[in-house]
């Protein structure tokens, strides 16, 4: 992606971004996140002592026959006309995803909110502004990454996604992952992480290590959702550590 600067080498703009995020002390080099605890395999909740690769969510059998063959245009068209769950009755429009389709970074959130439902683009509200600042602090622009959600339609009143909604929507995201072939996946928030990894493990236990899903060799790193960080600004430092782990993982893969 052309971002070869060291993790701890900051420009004035990056420092300003960190200040805006409420992170007032830059992590010293020897305080960078530890090496990932899990490389290649993860230990899901309730399986201590056993190794296991997270299984991909169940596909909708009505679409398994052809969704993996769709190109970008066909995939976006199929998403736009999707009526597989009741969310199509209340949405303004689907929110397919946005960004660089050849990106090294794939960022996955939970579901569109009211702003996203109106504009048809993920992370465009206050949480999106914070996400943009987080990316800028890493030396990335929004257009350098690809941003998508577990769900392509907004749940009413921003409620949590239902299991059947996730099951219908997940094949769209899985095809996006196949098309992008990112080098690192960043899951934002508990719901995105748990649905992507098919686990009930808490976000706190998922942070700080690499995870893998069986459809891609790309490592998955879990961090807090920007909307949560707006409510709990003291957690921004932990989120920054997660971002550093993601960048370190990507740079290690490239070396």
Q: What pLDDT was estimated at residue 254?
A: 82
Q: What is the pLDDT of residues 167-201, one digit of tens each?
A: 999 999 999 999 999 999 999 999 999 999 999 99
* Low-confidence winner among 30-44, 84-98, 153-167 (lowest mean pLDDT): 30-44
Short-list 87, 96, 238, 236, CA closest to 175: 96
- Give the pLDDT score at 46: 30
At 4-59, the pLDDT tens digits run 433 445 666 666 666 666 665 444 434 444 444 333 333 333 332 323 344 444 44
* Annotated domain spans of the chain: 42-254
Q: What is the pTM of this model?
A: 0.80
**219 close to 181: Cβ distance less than 8 angstroms:** no
Average pLDDT, the chain: 83
User: How large is the average pLDDT for residues 217-243?
Assistant: 96
> Which CATH code for domain 42-254?
3.40.470.10
Q: Over 90: is that where the pLDDT of 162 sits?
A: yes
Task: Please report the pLDDT score of residue 253 as a whole number.
Answer: 84
Q: How many CB atoms lie within 10 A of CB 62?
A: 11
Task: Output the pLDDT for position 250.
Answer: 94
């Amino acid at each position: 992606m052309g971002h070869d600067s060291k993790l701890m080498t900051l420009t004035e703009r990056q420092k300003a971004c960190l200040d805006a995020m409420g992170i007032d002390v830059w992590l010293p080099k020897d305080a960078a996140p530890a090496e990932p605890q899990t490389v290649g395999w993860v230990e899901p909740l309730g399986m201590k002592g056993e190794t296991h690769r997270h299984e991909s969510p169940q596909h909708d059998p009505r679409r398994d026959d052809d969704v993996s063959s769709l190109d970008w245009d066909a995939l976006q068209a199929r998403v736009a006309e999707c009526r597989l769950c009741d969310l199509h009755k209340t949405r303004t429009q689907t929110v397919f995803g946005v960004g660089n389709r050849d990106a090294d970074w794939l960022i996955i959130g939970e579901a569109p909110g009211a702003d996203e439902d109106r504009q048809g683009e993920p992370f465009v509200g206050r949480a999106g502004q914070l996400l943009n600042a987080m990316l800028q602090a890493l030396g990335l622009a929004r257009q350098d990454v690809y941003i998508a959600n577990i769900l392509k339609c907004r749940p009413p009143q921003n409620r949590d996604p239902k299991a059947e909604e996730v099951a219908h929507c997940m094949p769209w995201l899985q095809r996006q992952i196949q098309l992008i072939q990112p080098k690192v996946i960043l899951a934002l928030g508990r719901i995105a992480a748990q649905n992507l990894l098919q686990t009930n493990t808490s976000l706190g236990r998922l942070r700080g290590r690499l995870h893998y899903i069986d459809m891609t060799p790309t490592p998955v790193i879990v961090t807090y959702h920007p909307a949560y960080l707006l409510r709990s600004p003291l957690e921004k430092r932990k989120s920054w550590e997660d971002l550093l782990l993601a960048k370190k993982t990507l740079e290690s893969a490239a070396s």
